[in-house]
Amino acid sequence: MNSDSHPVVLVTGASTGLGLALARKLLPTPHRLILTARESSLPRFAAAGISESDRVWLRALDVTSAAERQRVVDEADAKWGGVDVLINNAGIAYRAVVEHITDDGRLDQMNINFRAPMELIQLVLPRMRAKRAGRIINLSSVGGMMAMPTMALYSASKFALEGATESLWYEVRPWNIHVSLVQPGFIHSNSFLNTRYTAASKRAHDDPASPYFHHYDRMARMIARLMNSTRHTHEHVAEVILRTMRQKNPPLRVAGTPDAHLFGLLRRFLPRGLYHRLLYGRLPEVKIWGGACEVPGAAGAKPNSSAKISAD
């Protein structure tokens, strides 16, 4: 095959973390690559030893910008005949309890994790349908199958991505377009340090007198501990993505790490009420949560140590 017949792979958020690990694994392959990142992040490619060539493009792409999305896809259509494999990797995470969610935070989270991948998919689908072939891989998360306290916005964005992707799986099968969700669990990295806060969640995180202080403090510690202790890296998940990309008939949902597989089994086979009670009981030091809570107008508020759960 000549170089023009090699599939074109577009990766978002490719300058750091999982996206960079995936880019490095794709470089030795014969694929034509469009590696994207925000304009301010493009120098990271050079720092990682990645440069442009006749089959590697480095393109500025703020995934929330309709103009930039259109520009990148139009260039791929005009020069390389369209995108054959779209990997929606770019994403962010907010830490905020529901009471501390703001409109700005909600829009930021949903625009990047849900709206942007859906609109990129809309742009690449016409060429894929014309070719009657294509692959779309959306990076979800364990947070897309189960929710954690203080991560409501993040889970909302991933739950939305999972639902839309499942619909898409049915819709485009007649054109031989394969759609998959890769669901990583905890990955050994410091990416938890990049978690965003709303103004209210940041204040509560820093204030031991806040009713939600223990929610933020204990969850942040637990997530840091799990991400620092796991042996599974971005490279492991990147290899899962590559295997999914190469499968003749990839599944809709793919566990990115062993813990994601375990959580999936728990959610599938445990009775729902037992599942939620089990996870609640495993929250870090949950008996002290809510100890500082005082509802205006309610006297004698007590800690939540003996709260009973029913999530049936």
Amino acid at 199: A
pTM as predicted = 0.91
pLDDT level of residue 190 (50, 70, 90 thresholds):
confident
Mean pLDDT score, 45-73: 98
CATH of the domain at 72: 3.40.50.720
In a domain, 48, yes or no: yes
Backbone angles phi, psi at 262, to 5 degrees: -65, -45
Mean pLDDT score, 269-276: 95
Backbone angles phi, psi at 233, to 5 degrees: -110, 175
User: What is the Cα 303 distance to its own chain's centre?
Assistant: 34
pLDDT at 192: 86
In a domain, 220, yes or no: no
In a domain, 106, yes or no: yes
Whether residue 207 is predicted with pLDDT greater than 60 in this model: the reply is yes
In a domain, 225, yes or no: no
Catalytic residue among 15, 94, 140, 157: 140
In a domain, 76, yes or no: yes
pLDDT at 309: 46
Q: Is 154 a catalytic residue?
A: yes
pLDDT level of residue 1 (50, 70, 90 thresholds):
very low
Whether residue 283 is predicted with pLDDT greater than 60 in this model: the reply is yes
User: What 3-state class would DSSP assign to 259?
Assistant: helix
In a domain, 56, yes or no: yes
Whether residue 66 is predicted with pLDDT greater than 90 in this model: the reply is yes
Number of folded domains that form the chain: 1
The token pair that represents 243 in the structure block: 């295997």
pLDDT level of residue 3 (50, 70, 90 thresholds):
low
Q: Is 140 a catalytic residue?
A: yes
pLDDT level of residue 291 (50, 70, 90 thresholds):
confident
Whether residue 97 is predicted with pLDDT greater than 50 in this model: the reply is yes
Mean pLDDT score, 231-235: 96
Q: Which of 33-42, 57-66, 85-94, 283-292 is the least confident region?
A: 283-292
pLDDT at 5: 79
Amino acid at 217: D
pLDDT level of residue 303 (50, 70, 90 thresholds):
very low
pLDDT at 195: 96
Rounded distance, CA 55 to CA 51, Å?
10
Please answer whether residues 34 and 111 qualify as being in contact, where contact means their C-beta atoms are separated by less than 8 angstroms.
Answer: no
In a domain, 121, yes or no: yes
Q: Is 158 a catalytic residue?
A: yes
Mean pLDDT score, 30-58: 98
- Residue 9's domain comprises 3-201+231-269
Catalytic residue among 157, 158, 180, 212: 158
In a domain, 208, yes or no: no
pLDDT at 4: 66
Give the end-to-end CA distance of the chain in Å, rounded to a whole number.
56
More confident: 225 or 300: 225
pLDDT at 179: 98
Catalytic residue among 94, 141, 154, 201: 154
Looking at the chain, the whole-number percentage of residues with pLDDT higher than 70 is 92
